[in-house]
Amino acid sequence: MFYTNRKILKYNRFILICDAIGLSVFTAIGCRAVIVHGSNNLFVAVVMGLSAGVGGGILRDVFVNDIPYVLKKEIYAIASIIGGICYFYISKGLPELASLYICAGIVFIIRILSIVFNLGLPIGKNNLTQ
């Protein structure tokens, strides 16, 4: 058991990088689906990109019996939201493929920077434990 846990911790950075890639790609694809099907609504595009990007991470964490990153103080959903907003506005002026790459790059960079610099969202005090 100890050997297995040590082995998993060794690959933790690699798993986080792969997770950032998955988040960025699925956010871009989710936003693209809304734009391609004719909706010109920012809210719908961002929510679709967010649900596509974050949904896979939630499923992964539930399958391995872990608390999803979205429910922790990690910068996870915020990166997806920012990427979705960028995709919506960038897709108006640039070709589709360039918009996809730029959106995925923005989400990936935000997520990696939050991992490298240990950035997180502020959490409030729990009134129940006082």
- Got the DSSP string for 45-113? HHHHHHHHHHHHHHHHHHHTT---GGGTTBSSHHHHHHHHHHHHHHTTTS-HHHHHHHHHHHHHHHHHH
The pLDDT, as a whole number, for residue 44 is 96
Question: Mean pLDDT, to the nearest integer, of 18-33?
Answer: 95
Task: Please give the pLDDT value at position 29.
Answer: 96
Quote the CA–CA distance of 5 and 104 in Å, as a whole number. 31
Q: Can you give the pTM of this predicted structure?
A: 0.86
The answer to whether residue 54 scores a pLDDT higher than 70 is: yes
Instruction: State the pLDDT at residue 127.
Output: 57
pLDDT in tens, 61-106: 888 888 888 888 889 999 999 999 999 999 999 999 999 999 999 9
List, in sequence order, every residue forming a beta bridge with 74; answer none if it has no partner: 120
* pLDDT at residue 49, as a whole number: 96
Q: Which tokens sit at 58?
A: 């939630």
How confident is residue 2, by pLDDT bands cut at 50, 70 and 90? Answer: very low
* pLDDT at 1 > cutoff 50: no
State residue 5's pLDDT score: 66
CA–CA distance, 95 with 111 (Å, rounded to integer): 24
